[in-house]
Amino acid sequence: MPALPTPCPDGCRSPAAVTSPALVGLLAVASGMSVANVYYAQPLLDALAATFSISHAAVGGVVTATQLGCALALVVLVPLGDRMERRRLMLVQAALLVMALGWVALARGPAALLSGMLAVGMLGTAMTQGLIAYAASAATPGEQGRVVGAAQGGVFVGLLLARVFAGAVSDAWGWRGVYASAAALMLVMALLLYRRLPGQAPAAQGMAYARLLGSMGQLLRRDRTLQVRGVLALLMFAAFNVFWTALVLPLSAAPYGYSHTQIGAFGLVGAVGALAAARAGRWADCGRAQATTALALLLLVLAWWPLSWMPASLWALVAGIVLLDMGGQALHVTNQSLILRGQAQAAGRLVSLYMLFYAVGSGLGAIATTATYARFGWNGVCTLGAAISCAAWLFWWLTRDTLPASTTEAS
C-alpha cells in the first residue's frame, strides 16, 4: 500500500495558482443551496400526503419524481455546459429553478405537485453538477482538486442541512413555506452568481447536441480513469445507501423510538467527517491521489465495525458515521479531481457520466438494504456494507497500476 498522505509542502503550488477564496466560497454555497432543493421533500412526505390526500404508500412517488428529474438532468442538461457558455446556462437554469420551486409552493393537485418535483429534481441537479463542472474548468491546473473539493463539500453540507431547513421552516410556515423560501433564496443566489462569476468560452461551441451526447459514450469507452473511478463511486455510494437507508428502521423502533427529525440529526454528525476530508482535493493536486484513495477506502471498511455496535452504543454509531462520511467524502473528491484533471473542455460530460455511476450505486444499495434488514437484521446490514466496502478496496488494489499518467483527451 502506498504511504499515507501528508500535508503538501510549501512548494507544492505557486501563489499565482490560487483561486480567489471568495469565489471558491460562493461556488461552495451555491452548490449546497442548489442540491438542497432536491431533498427538501423527504421530511415533508407526511404533510404532502395530508394536503393532497395521497396514501402513505403512494406518497413516495414524490421522491421518485424528483429522482427521475435528477437522472434526466445528468443525461440531457449537465452536458450542455460543454456546448454553451456555463455562466449564462447556469443563470437560465437558476431562473427556471426559482419558477419550479414557486410552482411546487402553489401546487393545488397531485399532478401539479409531481410535475413541479420533476422540474425541481432536473434543475437542482443541473445547477449542482454545472457548478462543479464550472469549478473544475475555472480553476488553474494545480488548483482543480482544491476548488472541486470545496464545491463538493458545499454539496455534502447542503444534503445534510436540507432536512434540517425543511423541518424548521415547515414547523413555522408549513411545507409551502419551505418551497417559497427556497425560491427566494435561489433568486438571491442567482443574482450573486450573475454579478460575481466570470464568463467562460464553451469548449465544444458549435457541436451538434446529438453529437455532444454521443461523445459521452466515446469518453466512457476511452477514459480508463473514468471507468475505474466510476466503479469505485458505484461501490462507495452503494455502501453509503446501505447504511442510510437502513438506519431509520432500528432507530424508529423500540427501544429508541426516535422521530424522523431526531434520526435526521445523526446526518449532521457526518459534517465532521466531510470537513475532515476537505484536504483530499489538495492531496490529489499534489500527486497523492492513490495514497488518499487507499486511506479513504480503509476508513470506509473500518467504519462498519463501530456501526455494528449500534444496538448497544449510540456513541459507536456516531464514531462509525464520522469514519464512513470521512472516507466516502475523501474518495468522492479524489475521484472527481482525477477525472476532471486536464479535461476542462469535457467537464460537463465527465461529471454527468461519473454521477450516473453514483446513481446506479445508490439505487442498488437501497434495493439490497431493505431485503437484507428484513431477513438478517442490523448485523446483516453491516455485513453487507462491509462486504461492498471491501470489494471497493480490492477493486482499487487490482486496478491501482492501470491508470494512465494523465487522462485522455476528450472528444
pTM: 0.77
Q: What CATH number is attached to the domain comprising 383?
A: 1.20.1250.20
Asked if residue 127 and residue 38 are part of one domain, the reply reads yes
Q: How confident is the model at residue 1 (pLDDT cuts 50, 70, 90)?
A: very low
Q: Examine the pLDDT at 83 and tell me if it is beyond 80.
A: yes
Residue with cell 464568463: 199
Q: Are 18 and 111 in contact (CB under 8 A)?
A: no
Q: How confident is the model at residue 87 (pLDDT cuts 50, 70, 90)?
A: confident
Q: What is the number of domains present in the chain?
A: 2
End-of-domain residue from the set 154, 175, 206: 206
Asked if the structure places residue 12 within a domain, the reply is: no
Asked if residue 136 and residue 252 are part of one domain, the reply reads no
- pLDDT computed for residue 56 by the predictor: 63
Asked if residue 377 and residue 293 are part of one domain, the reply reads yes
Q: Which among 356, 184, 156, 369 is positioned nearest to 272, based on CA atoms?
A: 156
- pLDDT computed for residue 92 by the predictor: 93
Q: Examine the pLDDT at 30 and tell me if it is beyond 70.
A: yes
Asked if the structure places residue 275 within a domain, the reply is: yes
Asked if the structure places residue 99 within a domain, the reply is: yes
- pLDDT computed for residue 204 by the predictor: 58
State the alpha helices, DSSP H only, in 277-402: 280-285, 289-302, 304-307, 314-340, 347-399
Asked if the structure places residue 3 within a domain, the reply is: no
Asked if the structure places residue 7 within a domain, the reply is: no
Asked if the structure places residue 316 within a domain, the reply is: yes
Q: Are 295 and 287 in contact (CB under 8 A)?
A: no
Asked if residue 338 and residue 258 are part of one domain, the reply reads yes
Q: Are 407 and 338 in contact (CB under 8 A)?
A: yes
Asked if residue 199 and residue 265 are part of one domain, the reply reads no
- pLDDT computed for residue 354 by the predictor: 92
- pLDDT computed for residue 14 by the predictor: 37
pLDDT digits (tens, 9 = 90+) for 191-202: 999 888 887 666
Residue with cell 500535508: 7
End-of-domain residue from the set 162, 186, 206: 206
Asked if residue 182 and residue 35 are part of one domain, the reply reads yes
Asked if residue 170 and residue 222 are part of one domain, the reply reads no
Average confidence (pLDDT) over 264-274 = 72
Asked if residue 227 and residue 114 are part of one domain, the reply reads no
Asked if the structure places residue 14 within a domain, the reply is: no
Q: Which among 284, 327, 349 is positioned nearest to 156, based on CA atoms?
A: 327
Asked if residue 76 and residue 58 are part of one domain, the reply reads yes
Q: How confident is the model at residue 251 (pLDDT cuts 50, 70, 90)?
A: confident
Asked if residue 274 and residue 135 are part of one domain, the reply reads no
CA–CA gap between residue 392 and residue 303 (Å, rounded): 14
Per residue in 165-199, is it b (16+ CB within 10 Å) or e — as a string?
A: bbbebbeeeebbebbbbbbebbbebbeebeeebee
Asked if the structure places residue 32 within a domain, the reply is: yes
Domain boundaries, position 48: 21-206
Asked if residue 328 and residue 193 are part of one domain, the reply reads no
- pLDDT computed for residue 117 by the predictor: 94
Asked if residue 228 and residue 191 are part of one domain, the reply reads no
